[in-house]
Chains A and B, each alone.
Chain A
Amino acid sequence: MEDDNWQWHMYDTVKGSDWLGDQDAIHYMTREAPKAVIELENYGMPFSRTTDGKIYQRAFGGQSLKFGKGGQAHRCCCVADRTGHSLLHTLYGQSLRYDCNYFIEYFALDLIMEDGECRGVIALSLEDGSIHRIRAKNTVLATGGYGRAYFSCTSAHTCTGDGTAMVARAGLPSQDLEFVQFHPTGIYGAGCLITEGCRGEGGYLINSQGERFMERYAPVAKDLASRDVVSRSMTIEIREGRGCGPEKDHVYLQLHHLPAEQLHTRLPGISETAMIFAGVDVTREPIPVLPTVHYNMGGVPTNYKGQVLTTVNDQDTVVRGLYACGEAASSSVHGANRLGANSLLDLVVFGRACAKTIAEEHKPGESIGSIKENAGEASVANLDWCRHANGSIPTANLRLQMQKTMQTHAAVFRTEETLKEGCAKMDKLYSNLKDLKVSDSSLIWNSDLVETLELQNLMLNAVQTIVGAENRKESRGAHAREDYKTRIDEYDYSKPVEGQQKKPFDQHWRKHTLTTVDEKTGKVSIRYRPVIDHTLDSNECATVPPAIRSY
């Protein structure tokens, strides 16, 4: 591949985040990235290879050379199109070398907090219905996102925001939940993901006129522009009547101009997925695709070391004993929009950062603070209530109503009217949680009960998302508002900064949203936190000043 530099990746990530990302965390992640990949390869991850035996790298969205001026970068290391699957199996296999104790099919109900410190979790074992309080000096949340709050998402059924919900119930804030990424290429209908790697290998999107429309919206990067840009472009094409299919409600991803051999070697997984879920032979026909909910940029706020933060008198304060990483966290490397491939990187770098921080600050055998006799009582009470809930709305019904509301009112393009309506509907749906009906009262593997607990978790995430979206009166990254079309920063970066008056903190939007929820009423409270612009070491990596974002 061509010459590359981690500082260029750092620039791409800051730009991709629409300057809402914390540059110290981004500096950390991009600097550690090459080491993380080598470490994974040493663990046995079966990366695809080039003819000289080195790790194969492909182009991915939003990745450029020379700070955006040198064309498309090919820096994304991959295992065909199954990198995530391979990463999971490699890390799981490695974990078996150590004395990792897995509590398989235990559902974590809540954090056990004492004196503002996290001292463990209380969890339900599905296998026999027993409840366990697990005391721990350090708890790391790696619970993923909450794509299932929407009707159509690429996420698995288990993506129900359990970690962010536990944090909300503990009275701690979540950050930037209004930023929900719509991945450009989810299969129309099923919602299964077609990786961005397709466009990285040379595939492109076409409308009903057979036009490669991304050339108009992103002249330089075209189909490999940042995901929010592509999703918006696709939505506009469909809205303006150039959608494909009988309902003209999706567009096509074309791959059949690529050699069949390349598709077979580099993209075997999606070739199979496209056949199974869309009945399409990618060597001959295009795949019908639609922007689909895929990732949550927001989550539990942390610093670059993985420690969970809250604010006390507007000062960042570490919550002792609690860490978060991955999609559940907001460190924030992704800011208002995440670049493709940065999530898998985020997982390994910050997962490791949590471990390193814990190892640096603690020794094995340290005593854990005590917990009250009745710690976790509220969780048990809720569990019991759910198990015997005999209202009028079955869990599946209420969940579907929530999903349809979020899909309609917190979509790719948002307006004041639809958001306000959405907030009101979500408020009503939240209060309907009191009227749930659970049919299965068994103790062993009660999936009806667990889906109900998950619905409670989804609701907490959903209300924070939609209230946060209605509140943010600008467009930034994945949060696109038709009534506030531009970014509102502390300076107007479309003009020279010199001579401009800097806007005070409360009059611009280049800041993180922090939301908390009252568990009983669903009422969301909002406060803010500044974006971290300084890097870890300005000699090693300079801050990227804000600029207008175009591809």
Chain B
Amino acid sequence: MACLHDHSCEDHDCSADWSLYKHIDISKVTALNEAVPGSVKSVFKAWEQRLSSSEEHLESNEGDPELLVFIPFTSDVKIKSISIVGGAGGTSPSKMRAFINRDGIDFSDAQSMQAIQEWDLAENLQGVLEYQTRYSKFQSVASITLHFPENFGGDTTQIQYIGLKGEATQLRRDVVATIVYELMPNPSDHKAQAEGGGGLSHVE
């Protein structure tokens, strides 16, 4: 079962769907407990290359199967489903928990916080499984953090590919840039309303 299409699915049809990786801000992707710093960037690639194990993959440290991947996007996206290709020999992750729009999560935060959604994963070495999201909760996602607490018994956890399906909006979820606090209202700052006769009394 490659996809839930009723025709024989060619790769190019699916790959268009899984194009959300283009909207990932790759330079700001980070992972905690990765054995090789920076290797997390290699798991975001095109659908066709999801099985190519020639490049490096994301691996956790020896004896510790937990992984935490932080994925910021260049614009707000809506995520419909997620696909994970793990490693062989029990190194595939068995659970996935997602957190939306929070940065700076570390392991103790991840363990204590309530995830926005959790999935039980199966070993998906062919990359044909996808895990649907509760779409209403994934409507304007600026960053997603994936926490993989366990695996299928291997010493380390390996992830070869993380695919995201959805659509990108062009909106940005920016932080408020400037905030002006008023201790006392100054009518000259509110000229528009005053002219419109919005009920403000004129203060000399």
Do these two chains really belong together in a complex? no
